[in-house]
Amino acid sequence: MNQKHSLLSRLAPFGQKHLLAHWDALADSQRQEFAAQIDGINFAQLATLYTNRDHLIDVVAMVERAQEPPAYRLDSDANAISRSDAIQAGRDALAAGKVAVLVVAGGQGTRLGFDHPKGMFPIGPVGNTTLFQMHIEKTIARGRQCNRSIPFCVMTSPTTHDETVGFFAKHKRFGLAESDLLIFCQGTMPSVSLADGKVLLAAPDQIAMSPDGHGGMLAAFQLSGCLDQLRERGIEMLFYFQVDNPLVDIANEEFLGYHILSRSELTSQVVRKQTPQDRVGNIVSIDGRLHVIEYSDLPDEFATRRKPDSTLAIWAGSIAVHIMELDFLKRQTENKSSLPFHIAKKKVPYIDTNGNPVAPQEPNAIKFERFIFDLLPAADNAIVVEVDSRYHFAPLKNANGSPTDSPADSPESVRKQLSDISIEWLTLTGVRVAPNVRVEISPLFANTPEALAERVNQGLVPRDIDRNTRF
Ligand code: UTP
């Protein structure tokens, strides 16, 4: 049987023969690569996912049993572990070299509309510092505090991998030791037509693929060997975050401490929801296990419920910052059902069977993605730790609007939030900052208000700042 026939007989049972519509016009080398792509796809799995696409979980039944998650609150005297004990435990773990950091940076960043990996976006309010540089500098600063370097892992995807690797090389890893930077690439999933489940072609010899979601981290972390490598180095826990939050407080000692002293396998940072409609995942406890209920799934009736003190009953908004035990992750790599695929209906450009490019105006396709927070229910002793969203969460998601219009989560709004915090830290030390001036503080200069006060005492900061300044 020739190659085309053998491929056709593989595709036919799944109704995917159209993938070979342009086969005869392909050069031999293109055919070999395309055949390899087809070989790498699990069509039986795709068929099942498509058939079950509208299989909805009964959110109402879940939410009816939902309770508040075990939490360390910002304003509670009732916290079982004291702040100082938590800080000490976190410090000890860092000093003993038990902590590594992992950033997921494989997303396509479609809303931001930036032509490079999002980590390369210049977000510093004064110095145009990129997200990657900020994250690395925070990690180095934390390492210096505990006299121990902290390994930094980056998850890329096929779309962001080569550029990310080149970017870190070009900038000499922003000072991080070579052995402390681990970059690994996540997997992909084909996009299928919303109407009939047929796999879409991006080109005559290319299937339309997209990254398999931030939950793809679990499999990729294992397959790349990074998980085992870190365990061999004595790392016990991973500080996980998303590349687009420049306010993330990397490897914060207090956060680590609550996790360690609670013997939690997965601890999540949360913010107190300001309104029932806040667009963050809701962390709740159901039958003694933590779960995330997405904001789009949470019926209004539950989102608006209030406690006797009039605060929201479902209050804990996830900001996708977690600490995960490596032993737990290892166990989960063997649990096939731990990370189910979710579906997202998207506009995916494709070529039709006549070879014409189509740029859809409406969602035409389904992408399949795994979400890392689906690990939560499997984790023993999982807890949440509340942080103040103003100081910890500034997700860069959207493009700037017109010059007068700065939508939420856009470069302009994020830069302002970063600068405002730096100004607040300076003002606390008695430094005066003129109105309309922007300030940026490198974590290597000072990574806490206390560290900044020291810099001021050392005479390294002028008493009056009247122009945009980066320290
Ligand atoms: P988002 O879900 O916000 O997606 O990712 P995005 O790609 O950044 O932006 P849009 O939706 O296309 O506009 C949240 C975080 O998860 C990472 C992203 O890089 C970001 O840090 N992510 C997302 C991955 O690493 N892989 C994925 O497959 C998806």
Separation of alpha carbons 325 and 343, rounded Å: 28
Q: Is 111 in the pocket of ligand 1 (CB under 6 A)?
A: yes
Cα–Cα distance measured from residue 420 to residue 246, given in angstroms and rounded to the nearest whole number: 13
Under 8 Å between Cβ of 266 and 382:
yes
Distance of CA 358 to the CA centre of its chain: 30
Angular region, 163: left φ>0, alpha ψ -120 to 50, beta rest: alpha
Strand partners, 177: none
Q: Is 194 in the pocket of ligand 1 (CB under 6 A)?
A: no
* Residue 197 to residue 199: CA distance in whole angstroms: 6
* For the chain, counts of helices (H) and of strands (E): 15, 23
Q: Per residue in 379-414, pLDDT tens?
A: 999 999 999 999 999 999 999 885 555 678 999 999
Determine the distance separating the centroid of ligand 1 and the alpha carbon of 210, expressed in angstroms. 11
**Roughly how many angstroms between the first and final C-alpha of the chain, as a whole number?**
68
Asked whether 347 lines ligand 1 (CB < 6 A), one says no
Distance from Cα 104 to the centre of ligand 1, integer Å? 8
Distances 420 to 54, 72, 399, 410 between C-alpha atoms, Å: 44, 27, 20, 15
- Give buried/exposed letters for 224-236 (b at 16+ CB in 10 A, else e): bebbebbeeeebb
291 lines ligand 1 (CB under 6 A): no
The C-alpha torsion from 397 through 402 and 406 to 409, rounded to 10°, is 0
- Number of C-alpha atoms within 13 angstroms, CB side, residue 237? 26
List the chain pLDDT tens, one digit each, 471 residues.
589 999 999 999 999 999 999 999 999 999 999 999 999 999 999 999 999 988 767 788 888 999 999 999 998 778 899 999 999 999 999 999 999 999 999 998 989 999 999 999 999 999 999 999 999 999 999 999 999 999 999 999 999 999 999 999 999 999 999 999 999 999 999 999 999 999 999 999 999 999 999 999 999 999 999 999 999 999 999 999 999 999 999 999 999 999 999 999 999 999 999 999 999 999 999 999 999 999 988 999 999 999 999 999 999 999 999 999 999 999 999 987 789 999 999 999 999 989 999 999 999 999 999 999 999 999 999 999 999 999 999 999 999 885 555 678 999 999 999 999 999 999 999 999 999 999 999 999 999 999 999 999 999 999 999 999 999
Give pLDDT tens digits for 309-357: 999 999 999 999 999 999 999 999 998 778 999 999 999 999 998 999 9
306-336 burial, b at 16+ Cβ within 10 Å, e below that, comes to eeeeeebbbbbbbbbbbbbbbebbeebeeee
- Do 469 and 426 form a contact (C-beta atoms < 8 A)? no
- Please state at what angle helix 161-170 crosses helix 131-145, rounded to 10 degrees: 60
Nearest CA to ligand 1 atom 9: 109
Residue 386 and residue 71 in contact, taking contact as beta carbons nearer than 8 Å: yes
Mutate to test the pocket of ligand 1, among 135, 153, 164, 214 (most ligand atoms within 8 A of CB): 214
- For 80, the token pair is 């079982």
Atom index in ligand 1 nearest the CA of residue 107 equals 7
| Residue type, position 394, single letter | A
Residue 106 Cα to ligand 1 midpoint, Å, equals 6
DSSP 233-271: TT--EEEEEETT-TT--TT-HHHHHHHHHTT-SEEEEEE
Q: Can you read off the two tokens belonging to residue 274?
A: 């300001």
Alpha helix segments (H runs only) across 70-130 = 83-95
Q: What is the DSSP string of 204-219?
A: TTEE-EEE--GGGHHH
397 CA: nearest ligand 1 atom: 13
pLDDT tens digits, residue range 426-449? Answer: 999 999 999 999 999 999 999 999
By alpha-carbon position, which residue is closest to atom 16 of ligand 1? 214
* Dihedral pair phi/psi, residue 163, rounded to 5°: -65, -40
Q: Is the CB of 281 under 6 A from ligand 1?
A: no
Residue 246 beta carbon below 6 angstroms from any ligand 1 atom? no
Q: How far apart are CA 205 and CA 34, in angstroms?
A: 5
Ligand 1 atom nearest to 108, measured from its CA: 7
CA separation for the pair 348, 367 (Å, rounded): 9
